[in-house]
Amino acid sequence: MNRRYWNMYQNQYKAYDTIRQETRSGRTLEASVLTRAAQKLKDCQDRWHSEDRESQFQEAIRFNQMIWSIFQGELAREDNPLPIEIKQQILSLSTFVDKTIFETMAYPAPEKLTVLININQNLAAGLMSSADRSQ
């Protein structure tokens, strides 16, 4: 990853981490961010043939990639409280997401966004359900 993108992700991660720590539930924030990513991808998919598709596609795909990179970093932290089995499952899913993102970037097609949209929406729903039970 080139240095410019690393700095961008690092700054965004710091902002994300600050907000996450200030909110009552990190799960709620994570669900919100995943929902936002899914919506960006869906908007891109729905406007695939518009003039601004390329910029919208790049923004949506990079936003999604950034979120999953942050998740991977959080899961790798030694102080992450999740059980090892859950961490491994999410990391496995994140590997699949990464592969799908790279495939979609290399060979863009609107139908390829559906799997990313569905993963984000389903994970967000699970996080919201979990956050509701813990309150």
Please report which confidence band the pLDDT of residue 91 belongs to, taking 50, 70 and 90 as the band edges.
Answer: very high
pLDDT above 80: residue 3: no
The residue whose two tokens read 């496995």 is 92
The residue whose two tokens read 């600050």 is 18
48's CB contacts (< 8 A; 6+ apart) are 110
The token duo for 45 is: 């998919």
Domains delineated in the chain: 3-134 (1.20.120)
Per-residue pLDDT at 132: 58
**Segment 27-81, tens digit of pLDDT:** 888 899 999 999 999 999 999 999 999 999 999 999 999 999 999 999 988 898 8
What is the rounded distance in angstroms from the CA atom of residue 108 to the CA atom of residue 49? 12
Please report which confidence band the pLDDT of residue 24 belongs to, taking 50, 70 and 90 as the band edges.
Answer: very low
Specify whether the CB–CB gap between 127 and 31 falls below 8 A: yes
